[in-house]
Structure 1
Amino acid sequence: MTVPDGAQLSEDGKYWWDGSDWQPVPEDGGEQTEVGQLSDDGQWKWDGSQWQPVDGDGSDGGSGDLQGALADKGLDIPADAADADYIKQVYDHVSNWYDGLGDDDKAIFDALSQQGGDQILADPEVGVVADGDPLIAAFAGTDKTLGESLQATGEALEQVQS
């Protein structure tokens, strides 16, 4: 028996609730679900112990709306990476780093980022973000400066929180 999308799992992930009883999760269950992963239909998001509705009460941090808000600002991010808490964390971290730069350093990073060089933030010598970060990849896909990308992200985050 396969575990249906949206089924509540036990804390240890070994059982799922069928509405009246706990059923064992098949051991050949295939792929492991990662925190923040969206279901195939895009309506559910895995929180580490159970599937949560994406649209519901906003407990997903507005991630469904965040992807659209970012896209409206010219930043394309995959739906499965549009976790509002994570995006806010990366945004705050990179903003604090950027705000701490001198004017000359800001100008250098802005010039590089206008040419898609935002990935330099993941360079081990720079070390601002992890390699492959989806928000930074979205920044690199534009001709915006790093400052402009950060401003757009901040506006998108504000939009989904209001």
Structure 2
Amino acid sequence: MAGIARSRLTQERKNWRKDHPYSFVAKPETRDDGSSDILVWQCIIPGKKGGIWEGGFYPVVLKFSEEYPEKPPQANFPQHFFHPNVYPSGKICLSILNEEKGWRPSLSVKQILQGIQDLLDNPNNGDPAQEKAYHLLLNSKAQYELTVKKEGLLPKDSWYTT
């Protein structure tokens, strides 16, 4: 299986370089010795135009196992990322990342990242992972959106390097 995961991810990287959504970044992590770790990808997801996360750029780490694509990657925002479907650890709670719910081995890195981007503006109240953000959204959408603007947005220049 190890060869399958690495081959698939190598192909995913080639496909990404040819065709990826504007302002998204996804690339294997660079180790201290300069080599690439194809099983760990450093990604950036922009907030959708017209959405409450617009203007921000959000770091996501995708960790693939040797069992990929049979098993989904784990996806994480930074710890304490403010969103109803993100655990305090940063782990993203999304059906397409859950092998018992919506994961399909045919899903690409591009589709995964676009799914995460969509989740930002369309939280799933039926599957909360973070109490504060969940209750705020449930009780006052306006206050939730103000909190996102205040706490959730990460300006591009605060962490993004080209």
Tell me whether the two structures share a fold, i.e. TM-score over 0.5: no
Higher strand share: 2
Structure-2-length-normalised TM-score: 0.30
Larger radius of gyration: 1
Greater RCO, CA 8 A, separation 6+? 2
Answer 1 or 2: which has greater helix percent. 1
* TM score, norm. by length of structure 1: 0.30
